[in-house]
Structure 1
Amino acid sequence: MKSSLLALSLLAGTMLAPSASFAGQAPDATSDPDIPISSKDRVYAAEQFSNTVSVTNPSTNKLLGVIRLGDPQPGNLSPLYRGQVLVHGMGFSPDHKTLAVVSIGSNSVTFIDTATNAVKHTTYVGRSPHEAFFTPDGNEVWVTVRGEDYISVIDAHSYEEKLRIKVPAGPGMQIFSPDGKYGYVCSSFNPETVVVSVADHQIVGHIKQESPFCPNIAATPDGKQVWFTLKDTGKTQVFNAEAPFDLIKTIDTGPITNHVNIVHNANGDFAYISVGGLNQVKVYRTDNFQQVATIPVGNLPHGVWPSGDGTRVYVGLENADALAAIDTQTNKVIATIPIGQAPQAVNYVPNAVPEGDGMQNLQPLGVAGDVTHLALHAPNAKQDGVAPTSVSLFDQGLSQVLQASVTGLEPKKPYILALSARADGSGDLQPLASFTTNPAGSAIVNAVGPIRQIVQSSEKAERRYLVITAAGDKKPGEVVQIEAK
């Protein structure tokens, strides 16, 4: 199938883009041909609070619909509930026929047919899996089981777990070298990335992470480098993809550094990194690590994936319920597409729908598109349109899931997100959530309740305002951020 795909892409390149360079995009090798953007391609996003996978046509940058894997709250709290919860991670097969979608809350990997959007199988693994990806030969799916200390290796044909690879506790994500020789596994709980031989599933290398919390990792198509992000310290690290797997570079990228992916084009190889606390995507050369662009994209950018020809990068905006399309020649956003709630991982799959319109089994966005946005800033800060903390209220029907992307606070300090009867935060406060900032002075904070009805009430007696306070002795302390007007 791969040879027929390559032949198809070569034909498409000849007919549609004679000037296109032929150099594969991650996760494939540089020797693989580019695949020009077409209506047969799809962009998928895993959406955590609506429990959906959105499906977008990149030729028009239009949402086609969603694959609904589960229900919002409170339906998914039932003891008889059978759907998926916290749809989060995503990978796709080398033949572009299958998505593997990870749901953290239901400990599952759901395999979806890209041509028909139909669920083919669901495999249940250990506690809190995070990401899944196919080996380059298409025979195995490796799932990082972040709540435990192993990689679950699933047979890609039978969908059954065949073995477990023991790794440092809290594996965050794995990606493979383009030649299929190595699997690179970073950790979310321990400051150590390991390299695993795909042939015999043995650990053959260790790389020290500067901090424990790595959510994402990517290999360059030339097989020379591996990049991984550190969400807790706001850094990105690069190491040699071949033994002795030595560290090459550490880059300060910014608070809530999320995902990284690689684009190859006529100008070289570039790493695109989503920085959630800055609402930006930063672009770096992979040869000299020079930053060449800073792209404002929208609230809390998360997943990142290039098109099959590297002319675009798609970015999930977690606190904006949207997908941003970036032109990699101009490094500017050319489209923002409404999708489901809190997109996490993003995959661009070329030729996902070889025939037909690919509309089977898709549903309208519905309540998954309902969200309210707020912002918080320091009490005396100037209203310059850029607030350090963005807040989204994802509608679940009777209630909302609140998610705050908090930045601009002191590192490693305890704080409280609370409701106040006064806009300046004075008077009695009702705590919603306690949290501690990471070493970059940021945090992702969640709460659940009928919050939108309270903070948007037209009745002055009932109106409440979101605030962040220092954590005092058994009660809120000094107000450090208030709701923007």
Structure 2
Amino acid sequence: MTRNGSTTGLLATTCLATAVLVTTCFAGTSAAWAGQAPGAAAARDIPVSRHDRVYAAEQFSNTVSVTDPSDNTLLGVIRLGDPQPGNLSPLYRGQVLVHGMGFSPDHKTLAVVSIGTNAVSFIDTATNAVKHVTYVGRAPHEAFFTPDGKEVWVTVRGEDYIAVLDGTTFAEKTRIKVPGGPGMQIFSPDGTYGYVCSSFNPETVVISVADRRIVGRVKQESPFCPNIAATPDGKQVWLTLKDVGKTMVFDARPPFSVLKTLDTGPITNHVNFARTAAGMFAYVTVGGLNEVRVFRTDDFSQVATIPVGRLPHGLWPSGDGSRIYVGLENADGLTAIDTASNTVVATVPIGQAPQAVVYVPNAVPSGDGKQGLQPLATSGAAAQFTLSGPHQADAAPTSVSLFDQGLTQVLQASVTGLEPRKPYVLALAPNPDGSGALQPLSGFTTNPAGAAIVNAVGPIRQVVQGVESPPRYLVIAPGVPGQTGAPVQVQM
């Protein structure tokens, strides 16, 4: 694996040839296992080609990266906004915290949610041009088209409703009231139901798409669900619980009974599926372990653990299920997993802190699809650090990324290995062992899995890399700002 084009391109070409061979060999029986999420099982598989695109929403560079999966090459980025300090101006017109993503059934339109500016940007996949922006309520999180393409449902997580937009004009036409803090919605492949999990309340609701009524409720084992996905066969719905490190599975049909709860690990982020000749498998990103875990959907057994890199977040299958693409939030990377071997075959450098990822087959039917794209440039600039302590045996070390915003950086720490539900402080210490007077950067409380995502802003890279003298060191200490104990994790 390499971040330059040579090895990555060779591996990608080999995998593409393998995918085409598998498709050919199983042509007579492919109806038994074709169809990838979010489509139905009856849909045909679409082999990886240069017409496909992988998109990632990057929340600190405020970009959407565009990758060609045929050779795993970054083609460029769609710039929806500026980094700091440009986006602090009262006259700023761009987007902030580019985060959620969905696409239309005809694969011609990308819907991109920006949390900080309450926006859904609709992008033409053939030209990379923003053709419309719809502003909704406070802090939307995800948006997705109904399977018939007639509507776009947007979870307005900062409030208590789904904003229903017209699939052609993109104007808001109505709202569906749900429990406060809707995290994400996904639809049954046949378009009968919309499944909406919550990030603030321990309840998922099932909505009848035809009349927009709540027809089912599923109790979540915790209040924080960021992601939900439905299997292509229409039988199951999987949702992740980020705060407790679990993944729940319930019956996609009435009475929507819970089928299984899996302990997947700290900072469980997203889930998606790949249908292959060997069956259907759920892939779950576990940010606190820097892994993707793979489960069968028939007996829920775990069949693989795949190390992928720092803080895996969004993921999506290729049109034939031969690959799963994963965004690495604290590594500014897009990783490709070969689903036949469950190994990483390529990693592509992309923008800062990728969140949602989607794979859109045949997004560019003709041409090179580079129109309107800009180079990555400083949008991928970041520095990484690791913090660890004596109690990290059951979790990966805490990873810290400093996303370059000019003179300052946005710090994001994927904190693991601490006591659950306890207050801590991320701070700077004058000595490598963490001793001395601490300068607090951010106070936080760990979730029930002893983990947290922590953010801060400042010229931190210059401080910890010794550009400013004397250098200081990142640490985590128990307590609150101004009242801390001895550090329990120190910069390695």
- Normalised by the length of structure 1, the TM-score is 0.95
Tell me the distance in 2 between the aligned counterparts of 1:473 and 1:80.
34
Aligned to 2:399: 390
- Pair 1:432-2:432 in alignment: no
Superposed displacement of residue 476, structure 1: 1.9
- Pair 1:345-2:353 in alignment: no
Tell me the distance in 1 between the aligned counterparts of 2:92 and 2:137.
19
Are 1:211 and 1:232, in contact at CA under 8 Å, matched by a contact in 2?
Answer: yes
- Alignment partner of 1:442 out of 444, 451, 464: 451
Superposed displacement of residue 462, structure 1: 2.2
One-letter amino acid matched to 1:449: G
SS of the residue corresponding to residue 486 of structure 2 reads strand
Aligned to 2:322: 311
- Alignment partner of 1:28 out of 34, 39, 46: 39
SS of the residue corresponding to residue 126 of structure 1 reads coil
Superposed displacement of residue 14, structure 1: 8.9
- Pair 1:469-2:477 in alignment: yes
CA deviations 1:124-169 (Å, max 9, x no partner) are 0000000000000000000000000000000011110000000000
Are 2:336 and 2:347, in contact at CA under 8 Å, matched by a contact in 1?
Answer: yes
Superposed displacement of residue 398, structure 1: 1.1
- Pair 1:407-2:416 in alignment: yes
Tell me the distance in 1 between the aligned counterparts of 2:324 and 2:352.
20
Superposed displacement of residue 395, structure 1: 0.3
- Pair 1:272-2:280 in alignment: no
Aligned to 2:223: 212
Tell me the distance in 2 between the aligned counterparts of 1:329 and 1:33.
19
Tell me the distance in 2 between the aligned counterparts of 1:206 and 1:451.
45
Aligned to 1:158: 169
Superposed displacement of residue 16, structure 1: 9.6
Alignment of 1:84-99 (within 5 A): 84-99=95-110
Are 2:184 and 2:198, in contact at CA under 8 Å, matched by a contact in 1?
Answer: yes
CA deviations 1:63-94 (Å, max 9, x no partner) are 00000000000100100000000000000000
Tell me the distance in 2 between the aligned counterparts of 1:286 and 1:73.
43
Superposed displacement of residue 380, structure 1: 8.7
- Pair 1:479-2:490 in alignment: no
- Pair 1:59-2:81 in alignment: no
Superposed displacement of residue 473, structure 1: 8.2
Aligned to 2:16: none
Kindly tell me: are residues 472 and 228 of structure 1, through their superposed partners in 2, closer, same or farther at Cα, counting changes over 3 Å?
A: closer
One-letter amino acid matched to 1:455: V
SS of the residue corresponding to residue 36 of structure 1 reads coil
Kindly tell me: are residues 39 and 269 of structure 1, through their superposed partners in 2, closer, same or farther at Cα, counting changes over 3 Å?
A: same
- Pair 1:189-2:208 in alignment: no
Are 1:323 and 1:336, in contact at CA under 8 Å, matched by a contact in 2?
Answer: yes
Tell me the distance in 2 between the aligned counterparts of 1:380 and 1:456.
26
Kindly tell me: are residues 473 and 138 of structure 1, through their superposed partners in 2, closer, same or farther at Cα, counting changes over 3 Å?
A: closer
Aligned to 1:114: 125
Kindly tell me: are residues 457 and 473 of structure 1, through their superposed partners in 2, closer, same or farther at Cα, counting changes over 3 Å?
A: closer
Tell me the distance in 2 between the aligned counterparts of 1:115 and 1:164.
30
Superposed displacement of residue 474, structure 1: 3.9
One-letter amino acid matched to 2:388: H
Are 1:375 and 1:387, in contact at CA under 8 Å, matched by a contact in 2?
Answer: no
Are 2:288 and 2:396, in contact at CA under 8 Å, matched by a contact in 1?
Answer: no
Are 1:417 and 1:468, in contact at CA under 8 Å, matched by a contact in 2?
Answer: yes
SS of the residue corresponding to residue 51 of structure 2 reads coil
Tell me the distance in 2 between the aligned counterparts of 1:308 and 1:48.
26
Aligned to 1:365: 376
- Alignment partner of 2:56 out of 45, 54, 58: 45
Kindly tell me: are residues 410 and 15 of structure 1, through their superposed partners in 2, closer, same or farther at Cα, counting changes over 3 Å?
A: closer
Are 1:379 and 1:482, in contact at CA under 8 Å, matched by a contact in 2?
Answer: no
Tell me the distance in 2 between the aligned counterparts of 1:310 and 1:195.
27
CA deviations 1:381-404 (Å, max 9, x no partner) are 79x9x8520000000111100000
Kindly tell me: are residues 439 and 180 of structure 1, through their superposed partners in 2, closer, same or farther at Cα, counting changes over 3 Å?
A: same
- Alignment partner of 2:186 out of 175, 195, 198: 175
Aligned to 2:146: 135
Are 1:42 and 1:55, in contact at CA under 8 Å, matched by a contact in 2?
Answer: yes
Aligned to 1:223: 234
One-letter amino acid matched to 2:455: N
Are 1:254 and 1:275, in contact at CA under 8 Å, matched by a contact in 2?
Answer: yes
Kindly tell me: are residues 349 and 469 of structure 1, through their superposed partners in 2, closer, same or farther at Cα, counting changes over 3 Å?
A: same
Aligned to 1:417: 426
Aligned length: 469
Kindly tell me: are residues 180 and 282 of structure 1, through their superposed partners in 2, closer, same or farther at Cα, counting changes over 3 Å?
A: same
Large movers: runs of 4+ above 3 Å: 13-17, 379-382
Tell me the distance in 1 between the aligned counterparts of 2:234 and 2:62.
34
SS of the residue corresponding to residue 35 of structure 2 reads coil
Aligned to 2:134: 123
Tell me the distance in 2 between the aligned counterparts of 1:367 and 1:60.
23
Identity within the alignment, %? 74
- Normalised by the length of structure 2, the TM-score is 0.93
One-letter amino acid matched to 1:476: T
Deviates more, 1:163-172 or 1:21-30: 21-30
CA deviations 1:72-129 (Å, max 9, x no partner) are 0010010000000000000000000000000000000000000000001000000000
Aligned to 1:10: none
Kindly tell me: are residues 80 and 246 of structure 1, through their superposed partners in 2, closer, same or farther at Cα, counting changes over 3 Å?
A: same
Tell me the distance in 2 between the aligned counterparts of 1:216 and 1:473.
32
Tell me the distance in 2 between the aligned counterparts of 1:398 and 1:241.
49
One-letter amino acid matched to 1:342: A
5+ long unaligned stretches in structure 2: 1-18
Superposed displacement of residue 225, structure 1: 0.3
Are 2:322 and 2:338, in contact at CA under 8 Å, matched by a contact in 1?
Answer: yes
Kindly tell me: are residues 16 and 389 of structure 1, through their superposed partners in 2, closer, same or farther at Cα, counting changes over 3 Å?
A: closer
One-letter amino acid matched to 2:70: S
Superposed displacement of residue 19, structure 1: 2.2
Are 1:376 and 1:387, in contact at CA under 8 Å, matched by a contact in 2?
Answer: no
One-letter amino acid matched to 1:479: P
CA deviations 1:331-358 (Å, max 9, x no partner) are 0000010000000000000000001000
Superposed displacement of residue 313, structure 1: 0.1
Are 2:289 and 2:396, in contact at CA under 8 Å, matched by a contact in 1?
Answer: no
Kindly tell me: are residues 141 and 454 of structure 1, through their superposed partners in 2, closer, same or farther at Cα, counting changes over 3 Å?
A: same
Tell me the distance in 2 between the aligned counterparts of 1:458 and 1:28.
51
Are 1:259 and 1:303, in contact at CA under 8 Å, matched by a contact in 2?
Answer: yes
Kindly tell me: are residues 262 and 368 of structure 1, through their superposed partners in 2, closer, same or farther at Cα, counting changes over 3 Å?
A: same
